[in-house]
A = this chain, B = another copy of it.
Amino acid sequence: MSDVRKTIAGGATWQVVAEDRRRHRDATIAEAKPEAFSREDLAITNSNVKDLAARLASGEWSATTVIKVFLRRAGAAQGLANCVVELLPERAMRRAEELDRYLAENKKPVGPLHGVPISVKEHIAMMGLDLNAGFVAWVGRVAEEDALLLQILWDAGAVFYVRSTQPQTLMHLETSSNLYGVTTNPFNSTLTAGGSSGGEGALVGLRGSVLGIGTDIGGSIRSPAANNGVFGFKPTSERLPILGWSAPMAGCEAILGTIGPLSTSLEGVKLFMKTVVGGKPWLKSPNLVAMDWRDTTGLFSERRLKVAVMWDDEVVKPHPPISRALEEVVGELEKSQNVEIVDWAPQGHDRAWSIIAGLYFADGGAQTSEAINASGEPWQPLSKWIVQENPHLKKHDVTSLWSACAERDEYRQEYAELWNKKADVDVILCPVGPGVAPKLNAARYWGYTSQWNLLDYPAVVFPVNDHVSPEKDGAPIADYGPRNDADEYNWSQWTQHGAEGYEGAPISLQLVGRRYDEEKLLAALEVVLKEAGLPTAVPPTKAT
């Protein structure tokens, strides 16, 4: 498909550039030939990564058959949640045909992800495609090669077929841009899909994808995973390669961004991690840690898993559905012989937010502002909120930056000591946010996720197989005296909208490990799900 882009550099207005991008998107969707889904189509898209990979490897399903269905299903997801930047029918089909030929000739798959469709957030480079990172001014930047992560997944047999939406600045826990509009929640269109990997969240939530790639520096994988009821994993930084992503502030290292999977299944997350780490990405991206993927077989058969529960971060109180879900899960775990439960007393999470919010835009927001202003596109409300109205944001000089980094390190040490005192706690179980998916433009408290970015701890989000309903969550609320402005704002959202306002929203929780404990954390989640009686994969959505 020819794609001669209209760009700001080429003299177009921001409105024309954006309209042209949407026209291009719609053309790629039309090309994927939408039609009704057959029974086999549904069997394919209702599969999860592990099963899908097995059937593809055996040849039971061809890569072309599978990718055709996922192209159409991703196209359908666009109509439901506005989550797609473009479909890639031509290159995906070419790739799938190549894989089918390989399997026929060699009687073996290319790798562990042979034929598995993977969706990709737009700002992760794909050779020859636009790389706008959500800024109108950046439309027309074309990637010269695939991001390193995609190269590794390609070598393992992946098929890339859809690119997904992200917000202006990449720094919202929602997904609104002037290029593609608002990505809404498939379960309740008055709510956000979350962000910044909101396109991935909605796509995976709608089974337009079973495995997608998002990025996370404050909750951007976990918020959309939670809001759409799927699994999402933010690893420790410098374990997976971000080389080849596009974003402002390249070279900033005070807070490191991460990249990771969203999936309909825990097995999808695990296979993704094992495959990427197995590709030894540190040999090409030497800032990464050269740490092999460690086997955890039998880890929790020899001893009990010790889970510390953080009910509330003591800054912003979670809405009732979150507290209810946490109580239910903990109630089940307490019955288990294989799990020990203790409480986690949070320490200085408000201070943590002030530290990280003061380090996100250490240039005072100059590069981000420039990327917005260069096209004349309007500032989205949440862009204003995090850049222009953020009281912690500071234009640092080198000396004040060092001092802020030293404060960050001190906080990290204090938190490590807190954990050391808890002796043998393996993981922390806690909310993903102070509520389920927020109303649009209301995602203003990042603390439940950004906490673990500041500490650089791995964190995985999982659905509890439940949704907000007036029956379960409609009880009248006792009076509550908020602790601070953020708490007041969050609580007012619940008192204003109530269970009806959030009806249908998936409920999710978060499990957090110590730094570099990726393998242990995922093994722990497996125990938690089993002992809490929760599925390790998302059941087919109502939307099918």
Residues of A within 8 A of B (CB): 243, 249-254, 282-287, 289-291, 362-363, 366-367, 395-399, 401-407, 409, 412-413, 415-417, 419-420, 455-456, 514-517
Contacts and interface: CB of A to CB of B under 8 A. Distances in A.
Oligomeric state, in copies:
2
B516 A250 contact: no
Given A291-B289, A416-B283, A416-B284, A398 B363 contact: yes
A405 B402 CA distance: 14
A365 to B, nearest CB: 11
Contacts of A252: 402, 405
Contacts of A405: 251-253
B363 A514 contact: no
B403 A251 contact: yes
A401 to B, nearest CB: 6
A253 B286 CA distance: 16
A290 B515 contact: yes
A404 B253 CA distance: 12
B404 A251 contact: yes
A397 B399 contact: no
Given A284-B420, A413-B243, A416-B283, A251 B289 contact: no
Contacts of A250: 402-403, 406
Contacts of A412: 286-287
Given A243-B413, A251-B406, A397-B398, A455 B286 contact: yes
A243 B414 CA distance: 13
B290 A516 contact: yes
21 contacts: A250-B403, A251-B402, A251-B403, A251-B404, A251-B405, A251-B407, A252-B402, A283-B514, A285-B416, A286-B416, A286-B455, A286-B514, A287-B409, A289-B289, A289-B516, A290-B517, A363-B397, A363-B399, A363-B402, A367-B399, A395-B398
Given A243-B413, A252-B405, A283-B419, 5 more contacts: A250-B402, A250-B406, A251-B409, A363-B399, A398-B401
A284 B412 CA distance: 9
Given A251-B403, A251-B406, A406-B250, A515 B398 contact: no
Contact of A396 (B283, B398, B517): B398
A282 B404 contact: no
Nearest to A286: B416
Given A285-B413, A413-B285, A399 B366 contact: yes
Interface centre among A284, A401, A412 (most CB of B within 10 A): A401
